[in-house]
Structure 1
Amino acid sequence: MSTADDWTKATPAPAHMLGHVLQPDELLRHARYDHAAPAPELQRWVERYWSVTWKLPPGQERVASTLDDPGIHLTHEWGGVRREGAGSVGDWITGPVSRGRFDVTQHGSGGVVGVRFRLGGTTAFTTAAPAEIRDRTVRAAEWLRRGDLALPDLRDTATAAAPTLDSWLLALAPHDAPGFAEFTQILDVLEDPEVTGTGELERRSGHGTRSLQRRFHRFLGIGPKRMILRARVSDAVAAIDRGDPRSLSRLAHDLGWYDQPHFDRDFRAVTGTTPSAYARGRAPRYPILGA
C-alpha cells in the first residue's frame, strides 16, 4: 500500500459526487474529501462547502477531473495545486465551464476549500455577471468587486471552515436578485429527466426561446441547450459510477438519446472520453453514501 493510501484511509464517496467528479473512487484513493452545509440563512444561494486535501509521494502527480459545470465556485487553494487560469495559490473564482471537463493537477501536499454556489446563486452576493467568467478563473476579490472584504484565513477542511465561511458570506448581505425566484422555478423544471431538449423546457416552463436565453445568460452565463446536454451526460456518468446494470445502448435510450453515435458524441464532448472507455476505467473501491 502506498503512502497516499495509508494517509487517506479509504473515505466513502458521497452521492453528490456522482455525475460531477469523474472516477470519484480514484480521487478518494489518494485524497481526502469533506463537505458541509452552509448556515440555513445561506442555503437559498449556497449549495455546499467542500474541501479536498492530499499528500502524494515525491515526484507523483494526479489529475482530478470534473464535468463541465454551469455552477460557480469560490476556492481557497494552497500547496501543490496547478490548473489552467490560476497561476498560483490563493483565492479564486472559477466560472461556469462550457467547453468540456475541468482538470486540476495535484502534486506534493496541498488542498482546496471551496464554496459551491447554487445555480444563479452568486447574483445574491455581487452584481458581477457569470458570463464575464465563463471558462475562466479569476482572483476572487477582482470578480466579487468587494475589495473591502477579504476572504479570511480558513481551516483546511470544509467542516472546520464552515463557521468562518458562513460569517464571511453573511457579511456580504446577500439578497435575491430581480428574477432569481422565477429562474429557480425554471431550474426545477429541468430536474425532470424527461426534459431532454429546449422545446420541452419551453413548453413546461411557459417561456419562449429568447426569454430562456436571457435568463440563463443572466444567472448562469451559459445557454439552456448546453445546460440540458450537461445534465443528460451527468446522469449517464452517475449511472455508470453507480454500477447501473443497463447496457450503454439501453442507458442512452432511457436518457433521451435516439442512437448510440449521438450518445457517444455528446458524452465525449463533455467528458473527453467515450461511454464505453469511461465504463472500462471504472473500478469501484468504496461504497456510495446516500448524501
Structure 2
Amino acid sequence: MSGERRESGDVRGILHPGEQARHRRLTRLTVGPALSAFADRYWVVRWDLRGRPAYRAEVLSFPCVNVTFERSDLRTGGFVNGVCTTKYVRELSGEGETFGIRFTPGGFGAFTGMDVGVLRDDSAPLAEVLPAAAGLAERVLAEPSDERRCGLIEEFFAGRGRAGDPHFALVSRIVTAMAEDPDLTRVDQVTARFGVPVRTLQRLFRRYVGAGPKWVLCRFRLQDAADRLARGDRVDLAELATDLGYFDQAHFTREFTAEIGMAPSEYARAASPGQSVAR
C-alpha cells in the first residue's frame, strides 16, 4: 500500500477546515486493488484532546457509504455508515481515532449487493451487515501501522465483490458528471443527458447511493459554496449563487443557512477571519 497523504488543500466537505485542523489530524491513503473499483480512499482521523474541551467537528458528507473502525469515548468497533443527508456533527473528546474506507457513490451497494437506502442517515455494526467480518474490527484496531491496517482490510475484501454491474457503472458516470459539471444543476438536465427516466433515476440512486439525485446535486453545490467561502478570497455572494446554479442569492442563502446553520457571510467570516464578502 502506498500514497499516504497528510491533510492537503482538498478539504471540500469539511466545515471550518482551519479550525478542525487544530483539533485533529487527518491522513489519507490510497486504496489497493481489492477495493479500487468500489472505493476511492482510506482516511484516518486522530485526536488527543485530553485536558482540553471537547470539539464538535462538522462535515457536509459526500454521497458515499463509509466503513469505519473506531476507538473513542463514543463508540468502539467496526461500522457501516450510510449517506448522511444533514450536516454531520461528531464530538471529539479525550483521545480517539477513526480509520475509514470511503466507498465511491454506489460502490458499497454494488460491491455487496445491498440496498444502501436502508442505511440513510444511520449506521450499523459491520458484522451485522457483513457477517464474515466478525472480528475484523478488533484485528484492525489492534494493528498500530496504518499500512498494515490497509493490508488487513484488503485481504478481507479481496474476491468478495460483485463485478460488472451495469447499473453501478451508470450511477458512477452520473454522479461524476454532477460533481464535475457546474452547468448540471437540475434533475431534468440529468435525465436528458443520460436518457434515464426520472423514476428510474430515483430508484437507482436510492438503491446504490442512498439518497435522491436532487439531494446529490444540492449537496455538491453546497460543498462547493462552503469551500469557496472558506478559502479566504473576496467573495461576491450574488455571483457565487449564480455560478452554482441557484435561481437567485436569496434562494442560495436560505438553502446554505438551513444546511450549515449560519448564513454564507457569517460562515465566511468564521471560517476565514478577515475575509471580505460582498452581499
Q: TM-score, normalised by structure 1?
A: 0.84
**Is 1:225 matched with 2:214?**
yes
**Is 1:67 matched with 2:54?**
no
The structural deviation recorded for 1:57 is: 3.3
AA aligned opposite 2:8: P
AA aligned opposite 2:208: F
Aligned-partner Cα distance in 2 for 1:57–1:77: 18
- One of 78, 99, 123 as aligned partner of 1:137: 123
Report the counterpart of residue 32 of structure 1 in structure 2: 25
- One of 22, 43, 54 as aligned partner of 1:50: 43
**Is contact 2:225–2:240 with CA below 8 Å preserved after alignment?**
yes
AA aligned opposite 1:211: T
Report the counterpart of residue 136 of structure 2 in structure 1: 150
- One of 83, 91, 98 as aligned partner of 2:78: 91
Aligned-partner Cα distance in 2 for 1:259–1:76: 42
Aligned-partner Cα distance in 2 for 1:12–1:35: 6
AA aligned opposite 1:79: S
- One of 151, 166, 170 as aligned partner of 1:163: 151
Aligned-partner Cα distance in 2 for 1:128–1:169: 15
Runs (5+) with no aligned partner, structure 2 = 274-279
Q: How many residues are matched? A: 266
Report the counterpart of residue 78 of structure 1 in structure 2: 71
Aligned-partner Cα distance in 2 for 1:145–1:133: 16
Q: Considering only aligned residues, what root-mean-square deviation do their CA atoms show, in Å?
A: 2.2
Q: Of the two structures, which has the highest relative contact order with CA contacts closer than 8 Å and spacing of 6 or more? A: 1
Deviation readout 1:94-121 (Å, 9 max, x if unpaired): 11112x2001111111111001100001
Runs (5+) with no aligned partner, structure 1 = 1-10, 83-87, 285-291
| Structure 1 residues 12 and 23: CA distance shift in structure 2, 3 A | farther
Deviation readout 1:36-69 (Å, 9 max, x if unpaired): 0111342221110001111113252001111143
Aligned-partner Cα distance in 2 for 1:96–1:263: 23
Report the counterpart of residue 277 of structure 2 in structure 1: none
SS at 1:153 equivalent: helix
Aligned-partner Cα distance in 2 for 1:56–1:26: 14
SS at 1:258 equivalent: coil
SS at 2:158 equivalent: helix
The structural deviation recorded for 1:183 is: 1.8
- One of 192, 206, 210 as aligned partner of 2:181: 192
**Is 1:183 matched with 2:171?**
yes
Report the counterpart of residue 276 of structure 2 in structure 1: none
The structural deviation recorded for 1:92 is: 1.1
AA aligned opposite 2:200: S
**Is 1:121 matched with 2:115?**
no
SS at 1:281 equivalent: helix
Give the fraction of aligned pairs with identical amino acids, expressed as a percent: 32
The structural deviation recorded for 1:217 is: 1.1
AA aligned opposite 1:15: G
Aligned-partner Cα distance in 1 for 2:43–2:207: 26
The structural deviation recorded for 1:243 is: 2.6
**Is 1:14 matched with 2:1?**
no
**Is 1:246 matched with 2:235?**
yes
Q: TM-score, normalised by structure 2?
A: 0.87
Report the counterpart of residue 268 of structure 2 in structure 1: 279
**Is contact 2:38–2:107 with CA below 8 Å preserved after alignment?**
yes
**Is contact 1:126–1:145 with CA below 8 Å preserved after alignment?**
no
